[in-house]
Structure 1
Amino acid sequence: MRNQDNNRQACQHTSNAWRLNALAAAMAVAMGGFSAGAFAAAPAANSVIGNTATASYTDASLVSRNATSNTVQTIVQQIGSFTLTADNNKIVAPGGQVVYPHTLTNTGNGSDSFALSSAQDAGDNFDLTGFAIYADADGNGVPDNATDLTGTNVTLAAGGVFKFVVVGNAPGTALATQQGITTVTATAQTPALYTTSAITNTDTATVTADAVINVSKSANILTGPTGTVVEYTLTYTNTGNNTATDVTITDVIPQGTTPYGGMIYQAGSGTWSAGGALTDAAAGDPAGITYEITGTSPAQTVNVVIASVPANVSGTIKFSVQVDNSTADGNLKAAPGILTNTANFTYDPDGAGGTAPTASQPTNSVDFTVTQTSAVAANDTTTDSTQNGTPSGNDIVEVPTAGQGTTVVFSNIIWNNGNGPDRFNVTYANAGVNGFPAGTSFQLFQADGNNVLQDTNSDGIPNTPVVQPGEFYTVILKATLPAGATGNNGGNGFNVVKTATSVNDPTKIDTVTDQLQAITSNVVDLSNNTTPTLNSLG
């Protein structure tokens, strides 16, 4: 009767386990298969997300077992989203040229095409001549070529950015204060994916008879890892008919989104085309310019005041920054992605005249793409992410003893020491003569110790979930010992080496050793060696 009860209990445990798995699978379908950490970034369109549930139960022999469900897969649908920036207000001399910078960004999770068009408003004072849209891939505010993109489609992958400029000339007969207004439109070519499939910017040119200062910004390099040094150039030109005075340029050094770093100004890097090296303090600069760095690193601003710029005169200001590669400033390293830099400027357009300084105007925006750098450390501590070169200290996870036939549990900490989200493939290898005895079985588990570690990137190797920079994930290794093994392996213990490999960059690996120091015998001595007394007999 007791055996029947145990069998019924085992069947009930098994049934409950598979009910739990079915529930988990249903939840995976309802939730799209997302884990809590998966919401950090939108999954790509048409990608497959898998979810597998595992439950523990006790069989009729009262042995603990795990039951694993089938994997439920969900295909991510494409969601369309994009931005077009920005509106422009420019000052122009009669017959002068205006250049309006714009940026189109695909913020959706899949590729799409966008048509670029422009139209000059009917209710303004004049139309621009020689009107066209040109590519500006390097974002320096200057057309890359003479190919007019009006009416053409631009295809962008998810996260893709396309920079372009709209160029035109004011009529030579235009009068001061008259305006020419242009509407620039980007239209998505798969409208069903979008709530709004067209976005517009408005560009306005206002005519003046005084000075016209244009400031453009460029960089000597547009992509690189953390630690890259970038030289920015601010080019100013007076295309007007008067001398501009107190030409003031402010350039805020780009910062990342907390807790990630951005760019750090390089002390003493400023130079001026008309006067050579610049100091970072307000005093000590060449005549005709004040160059000062304000704020505390890394949140600093470049401030420039040029005393005067005559008509048809140009010049440059240069300085350097470094992409944050350190945590010394209280931030993490700069994250993979785009750091955008835009300066602003204002000036007095008529020198000693009565005209007030112009309103602040932005330069073109320059994007620097921070590439991902991967790094990993595997150890036994949640407080130190240092990667050690030899298996010692935190690189060895030790369990003193375990009985024959029991299961030994090792907890390994996998650190993401890179600058971007990453997953890490996890493998293990028995350590030869110092390894576990023959007949030992191993299995990798997730941090909860119950669910088997899954292969979520379809390369045939179990891996961690996505781990954010500076964070860690715990991987559990369970080693079930054979019933007949004992001892301490000649004092060397029993070792298995676990390897963590970056999925983003498989050349970045680290190892940690799991060590059981001794296997104890489970034999119980049932003999009774006590000599009975006569009083105890009968």
Structure 2
Amino acid sequence: MRRIKLKGPLAILVALALIGIALAQPTPAGTSISNQASARYVDSAGQPRTTTSNQVVTVVQQVYSLTITPNGSSEALPGQTRSALPGATVYFAYTVSNTGNGTDTIALTTPQGTADNFNLTGVTVYRDDNCNGALDAGETAVSSLTLSHQGTPSSSACVVVAATIPAGTPAGQYANLNLVGTSSGGPSDSDNWARANVTAAAALTANKSASPSGPVTPGTTITYTIFGQNTGGSAASGVSVPGLSGSGILIRDIIPAGLEVNSLPTGSAGAGTVQIVYSADGTNWAPLTASNLPLVGNGSVAVGMFISGSGAFFPQGASYTFSFQARVPLSAPAGTAYTNAATVRFNDGTQQQVVTTNGTTNPVAASPNVAVGPYGYPTGGATGSYTAGSYTVGRSGDTQSITSAYSGSVVIFRHTLRNTGNAADSFTLSHSGAPSGWVCQFLADDLTTPLSGPVGPVSAGGDYSFALRCAIPAGYTATTAQTITVTATSQAGPTQSDSTTNLVQAVVSGYAVDLARLGSGGDGDPSNDNPPSASANPGTQVNFPIEVVNTGNNPDSFNLSATLPSGWSALFYPDANCDGVMDTPTPSPITNTGVINPGGANRRCYIAVVQIPGGTAPGANPISLRVDSATDTDPGTPGIQPASSDTVSTTVNVNLVVGLALDPDRSGTVTSPGTITYTHNLTNTGNANATVSIPAVTSAYGWTYELSTDGSTWSASLSGISVPAGGSVPLYVRVQVPGGQPIGRSETATLTANATYPSGTASDTATVTTTIVGGELNLTKSAVSYAGATTTVRHPSGAQAYPGDQIVYTVVASNIGTGSLTNVRVSDPLPAHTTFVSASATASGFGSGAQVLYSTNGTTWSTTPPTSLPTGGILYVGVDTDGNGTIDGGDVMPAGASITLSLRVQVQ
């Protein structure tokens, strides 16, 4: 049984394996494990949103471990024995392996035994380059070996320890020798005892080679050769073999399980008659002919060579050689090790002897390969279509296409890759060809969770589905096909990659808008869009009820503006019930509509309030009102549509009146602490100059209100403001909110302007309403790594871990806004190079009856955390507030509420 010498973190690996946690090959030192959480929700304005957390990166540290075989647990129980004449050299063959996860230098020493008869001389360790157990010309002496980490072709090496039996040593005595390996990281392997017997009888050596001597790929033919000679003091005799005539020397080799022998072996000997033989059970033998082929190894089937002769027929110095070829199956998985050793049976003149050759090991090397193609068809040959996002994606062969997409929209192409290699592998995803300005990102197959770093590991023959999401710029259009190539590249074999093609056949504008008088928007008739003309006095205002209809294909927001005579101003107020009458209380004016979904049913109504300056001469004054897309803003780059906009025109007929106006009322939001500045107009609508004063404002909450007419000089109150007839002076109100104010607190302050004229007085008021706010859903992520499954912290930020260590990721999703969120789903993917251990989640601020739910597919929910998560899997968490057992639009996350998700994984 192979033994593992352990120290430190790698001891945790074995302990975990013993309690039933299956671990893959240790992750190589220096590997970065990246993890990023995401959340999907509907915000307080009813718009679907996605947010991502910060990224956490853990770097795998090096652990040290080694093995030396064959084992010899003590001097009394050596792992190999060699016999030779006094003065002869004996050779002990070993394999030294680095079973750690990083490159290591292993020092080799050869202490001699104390429970034996004598010491060997000239003890030297040689690197056995061809692993045939013999010392060949050109092979050099070594005192250490530098080996790469487990799982790589150069993680093991063969050595031969050569030692000489002193001349004159009596027959029957023996010497013991140990090969000790010590890692640069501390662990050692010190139970590899071997024994040299002194004999005067016949002694046959037995060595074995495999060509190739190291890793093989599926389909490779391995040539095994067993060879040796009589190095003893007399001729060797034969033994009886069941099924064969006479007596002879039997070279026996059990075919490694799974290998196939398709051709007859060959062999020769320096004495006796050679016969090629085989055994179906490893015990009973018969001559081997072509009719018996092929022979497939199953642990019992053996091939061999029988050297027959009479009496002591195999003299001193006589040699032999036997070779056969065995083919590695095409389906052999990586990591399969074909280990083989042969035996030689003979009679040394007094009794039967069995000599075992050195062992050969041919691991099946990873043969990385990958195929990537349309969703569900990783190797191509795709047909049919599917819907992703807003579009139908057609599949044909190795290509996916969308017939036409709208500018400003998102296209999603789903893909499936297959690991067509023979070992688990991770894959790097890349894309190319996306037009300038397009923003493309890889997502998990849930079409939400972002992928960072490589995906996998994916088992040999396994599939992994993912998506490419591309946001088309708002102003981009194209009449020719846009090609985006997706490529998957093996991490185990960076030269192995495969690509698939995605097409967007055309891109048309996704933006349009209709601005019209109330009741005429979106009817497709521009002739009735203009509002009727109006009459008003100087210093007053005229209201024009209008509506905005998003006639495009994408959600959009629109900026509102007006073209007016010099000195005039316009403000736009929401008309919530679309009745053309200013709502009560008067809402805050806006300059942007906010998001409007496409379709006439989603129209938004406004009242454009046009302020006529005092002193304006009577007459007809043409004005126009305009909306401009806030998204489609490019003015007209070649190949790109101009901005989406619309304009209506009307006329204001003005008469002169007198008076004072302080407008408009203002409202806004600010953080605590924070500062916000409002702008008002102080207008003299009379026909004489006025002197205006504004007294100080008192706050109920200790907020500070400051006034200014130039935006730079501030005071609590103002006086002596000169406003000419028909003139206007800006009034700035600065509100400073101290820290510690609760989110949602609101205060309305009234400003009073008092005007003195040469005869008479006038006054007007305006209000400023300020509300304390925060953001909305905030997502943060942290990690802590632990030594194995213990509570001992390996690294407080999770920046480092060893194979077998556990990492606990903590994701906190908090509603830091003032409004409620709905359908909140927090997701965290299982990082590459890790295995799921456990998960838990808690919630606060949701009220009684709320319950945490878990999902591994985003569709089926449970109150119980999952007990497993597949490679590339995603854990979803939400809070069920309406009691229907699922996470949907009826589940509300109030302001201030939070969800905490804990995901525990183990580093492979």
TM-score, normalised to structure 2, is: 0.43
Corresponding position of 1:53:
37
Deviation for aligned residue 1:183: 2.3
- In 1, the alpha carbon distance for the partners of 2:400 and 2:278 equals 51
Alignment of 1:354-503 (within 5 A): 355=351, 357-359=352-354, 361-368=355-362, 370-380=364-374, 386=379, 393=396, 395-397=398-400, 407-429=410-432, 442-454=440-452, 456=453, 463-479=454-470, 496-503=484-491
Could you give the per-residue CA deviations for residues 169-195 of structure 1, whole angstroms, max 9, x where no partner exists? 33454444322212222223432xx4x
Corresponding position of 1:251:
253
1:347 matches 2:345: yes
The code of the aligned residue for 1:306 comes to F
Corresponding position of 2:303:
303
Could you give the per-residue CA deviations for residues 275-333 of structure 1, whole angstroms, max 9, x where no partner exists? 899577865559xxx99879645767432142346022112111122333x23xxxxx3
Counterpart of 2:158 (choices 154, 163, 172) is 163
Unaligned runs of 5+ in 2: 1-20, 71-78, 239-247, 280-284, 384-393, 511-551, 554-597, 602-908
- Give % identity: 29
- In 2, the alpha carbon distance for the partners of 1:304 and 1:292 equals 14
Deviation for aligned residue 1:401: 9.6
The code of the aligned residue for 1:251 comes to D
1:143 matches 2:135: yes
- In 2, the alpha carbon distance for the partners of 1:453 and 1:267 equals 48
Does the CA contact (< 8 Å) of 1:229 and 1:320 recur in 2? Answer: yes
Deviation for aligned residue 1:148: 4.7
**Which moved further from structure 2: 303-312 or 208-217?**
303-312
- In 2, the alpha carbon distance for the partners of 1:516 and 1:453 equals 23
Corresponding position of 2:183:
188
Deviation for aligned residue 1:413: 0.7
Does the CA contact (< 8 Å) of 1:133 and 1:148 recur in 2? Answer: yes
Deviation for aligned residue 1:445: 0.2
The code of the aligned residue for 1:426 comes to L
Corresponding position of 1:40:
24
SS class of match (2:205) = strand
Quickly say closer, same or farther: Cα 1:294–1:495, change in 2 above 3 A. closer
Corresponding position of 2:324:
319
Does the CA contact (< 8 Å) of 1:295 and 1:301 recur in 2? Answer: yes
1:65 matches 2:65: no
Could you give the per-residue CA deviations for residues 321-371 of structure 1, whole angstroms, max 9, x where no partner exists? 2333x23xxxxx341x584533231413246x6x2x334x43122343644
Could you give the per-residue CA deviations for residues 34-88 of structure 1, whole angstroms, max 9, x where no partner exists? xxx9953322234432222222222333222222222212232221111111221
Counterpart of 2:111 (choices 98, 110, 119) is 119
The code of the aligned residue for 1:318 comes to S
Deviation for aligned residue 1:269: 4.2
Corresponding position of 2:735:
none
- In 2, the alpha carbon distance for the partners of 1:123 and 1:371 equals 42
The code of the aligned residue for 1:378 comes to V
The code of the aligned residue for 2:53 comes to S
- In 1, the alpha carbon distance for the partners of 2:476 and 2:145 equals 68
**How many residues were matched structurally?**
447
Does the CA contact (< 8 Å) of 1:92 and 1:206 recur in 2? Answer: yes
Corresponding position of 1:89:
81
Quickly say closer, same or farther: Cα 1:398–1:374, change in 2 above 3 A. same
Corresponding position of 1:232:
224
Unaligned runs of 5+ in 1: 1-36, 256-262, 328-332, 433-437, 457-462, 527-538
Could you give the per-residue CA deviations for residues 205-228 of structure 1, whole angstroms, max 9, x where no partner exists? 233443212211113333554333
- In 2, the alpha carbon distance for the partners of 1:395 and 1:146 equals 52
Counterpart of 1:79 (choices 53, 63, 83) is 63
SS class of match (1:374) = coil
- In 2, the alpha carbon distance for the partners of 1:429 and 1:155 equals 40
The code of the aligned residue for 2:116 comes to D
Does the CA contact (< 8 Å) of 1:143 and 1:164 recur in 2? Answer: no
Deviation for aligned residue 1:267: 0.5
Could you give the per-residue CA deviations for residues 201-259 of structure 1, whole angstroms, max 9, x where no partner exists? 1111233443212211113333554333232211132222132324333334445xxxx
SS class of match (1:83) = strand
- In 2, the alpha carbon distance for the partners of 1:131 and 1:301 equals 38
- In 1, the alpha carbon distance for the partners of 2:401 and 2:163 equals 73
Corresponding position of 1:510:
498
Quickly say closer, same or farther: Cα 1:122–1:115, change in 2 above 3 A. same
The code of the aligned residue for 1:162 comes to A
TM-score, normalised to structure 1, is: 0.69
Quickly say closer, same or farther: Cα 1:371–1:148, change in 2 above 3 A. closer
- In 1, the alpha carbon distance for the partners of 2:171 and 2:292 equals 35
SS class of match (2:191) = strand
Does the CA contact (< 8 Å) of 1:101 and 1:166 recur in 2? Answer: yes
Could you give the per-residue CA deviations for residues 72-129 of structure 1, whole angstroms, max 9, x where no partner exists? 1223222111111122122334444321111221111223333222233233123323
Deviation for aligned residue 1:418: 1.7
Query: CA-atom RMSD, angstroms?
Result: 4.2
1:210 matches 2:201: yes
- In 1, the alpha carbon distance for the partners of 2:339 and 2:141 equals 26
Does the CA contact (< 8 Å) of 1:294 and 1:301 recur in 2? Answer: no
- In 2, the alpha carbon distance for the partners of 1:478 and 1:146 equals 57
**Which moved further from structure 2: 211-220 or 294-303?**
294-303
- In 1, the alpha carbon distance for the partners of 2:263 and 2:275 equals 8
Quickly say closer, same or farther: Cα 1:504–1:184, change in 2 above 3 A. closer
Could you give the per-residue CA deviations for residues 398-433 of structure 1, whole angstroms, max 9, x where no partner exists? 77999997655433111111223333332345689x
Does the CA contact (< 8 Å) of 1:291 and 1:305 recur in 2? Answer: no
Does the CA contact (< 8 Å) of 2:375 and 2:416 recur in 1? Answer: yes
Quickly say closer, same or farther: Cα 1:112–1:440, change in 2 above 3 A. closer
- In 1, the alpha carbon distance for the partners of 2:261 and 2:237 equals 30
Higher fraction of helix: 1
- Greater radius of gyration (CA): 2
